Amino acid sequence: MRVWGRSLRSLIVLVLVGCAADAPSPIKVERVDSAGVEVVTNRGADQILAWSFEREFALGGEDDGPESFYLVSPTTVGVDAEGRIYVLDATSRHVVVFDADGGYLRTLGREGGGPGELTWPSNMSVALDGTVSVYDFGKRALVRFGPGGEIRDELRPEIGYQGPSLRVVGPDIYYTAFQHRQQEPTSFQRLMVWRDGEARELAQLEHPTTPMVSFPSCGFTFPASPVFAPTLVWDAVADVAVANRGVDYVVDVYRDGRLALSVRRDIAPRAVTEALALRQLEAQGRSINNCPIPAEEYLQKAGHAPVIPVVQGVTIELGGGLWVRRGHVAGEAAPVDIFGGDGTYRGTLPAGSPFPVLFLPDGRIAAIEKDEMDIMRLVVYRTGIDRT
């Protein structure tokens, strides 16, 4: 996720002042140094921030034209310092650029194997100046466009990237790597950073190797993860990366490639029951080659994790503040916590608030939501403060 400018940080400060001016916060902040890493533990109940969100416009989901995309994710959207919004339409093999008000500006790339063309695009990163980098699995390269839409070049880093997440931040490429050993009980998910031909590991999640499972309803056998299995959650902006690598409320902050800060809250993981796992499956579904697997069959074959990981999403703004979306069951509101750059808990957004994937320079946010037809759209909101 990206945050440009100081307007949003100023808004956060105003919210916090308005909420906390009359009474001291009941949150207790504990700071200790552990081998050069500052560990910040925030103890206490949620403190709800007086935020409001006004929907302005949505992009995507149209039958034709520049908004005919229907699949968006945090790794296929971006924004530059002028507030221009970029969407990678992987199905159509191009990038669509909109102005800050949602008006269509131009299209970058097209299907093909030549310069500036895309064969199998998966991820996109947008720099402050509007430089666009699209990772193309077919070319095993980053296809790059300049701020005016001109074709730049193609960079082929030797990173062994297999998906799903990749982020280009200045000279660094952050990505997720997997180490699967089907004959051994343990596999690894790793957060890597590549610069100048060298790849280094920042964080690692160790978990049981995903077994091959047969699903008679679809006639396929494939690796099936338990419901609510933990995954490596991370984000990177400028010279800072953040990661959660387990089920506990621990968000590690890396500065210049070194672990410098560990941010925590005293919130325990929630135990998983069969009923919760079924509810999750029925809401989200599982399928193989477009063949839906009945929830009861998937749960019987793959099982479920013992607990729901406390952290489901994490992002960082340029000012260093952390945004953490907590784990939840489908159909429930996902709490979103905000921390200062020093790891101090600032508050929790009101229930049902959107979780941003983009921060626009004027303080607006963009979130990914499904409409009444279950189509994903990029929705832009204006943020406000309840001063009552």
Chunked into runs of 10 residues, the chain (388 residues) has average pLDDT values of: 42 39 70 96 96 95 94 94 96 97 97 96 95 96 96 92 89 89 75 93 89 90 92 91 96 94 97 96 89 94 96 85 94 94 95 91 92 90 70
Are 281 and 273 spatial neighbours (Cβ–Cβ below 8 Å)? Answer: no
Please give the structure tokens belonging to residue 223.
């690796």
The pLDDT, as a whole number, for residue 9 is: 39
Distance in angstroms (rounded) separating the CA atoms of residues 357 and 316: 10
Distance in angstroms (rounded) separating the CA atoms of residues 279 and 51: 30
The pLDDT, as a whole number, for residue 315 is: 86
The pLDDT, as a whole number, for residue 160 is: 82
Please give the structure tokens belonging to residue 368.
């990914």
Instruction: Please name the residue that has the structure tokens 């953040």.
Output: 242
- Confidence (pTM): 0.88
The pLDDT, as a whole number, for residue 20 is: 41
The pLDDT, as a whole number, for residue 62 is: 94
The pLDDT, as a whole number, for residue 25 is: 63
Q: Is 249 buried (19+), middle (13-18) or exposed (0-12) by CB count in 10 A?
A: buried
**Extents of the domains making up the chain:** 7-69+231-367+379-385
Residues 6+ apart with CB under 8 A from 275: none
Would you call 160 helix, strand, or coil by DSSP?
Answer: coil
The pLDDT, as a whole number, for residue 387 is: 42
For 146-170, give one letter per residue: b (16+ CB within 10 A) or e.
ebebeebeeeebebebeeebbbbbe
Q: Angle at which helices 295-302 and 274-284 pack, to 10 degrees? A: 130
Would you call 202 helix, strand, or coil by DSSP?
Answer: strand
Q: Is 134 buried (19+), middle (13-18) or exposed (0-12) by CB count in 10 A?
A: buried
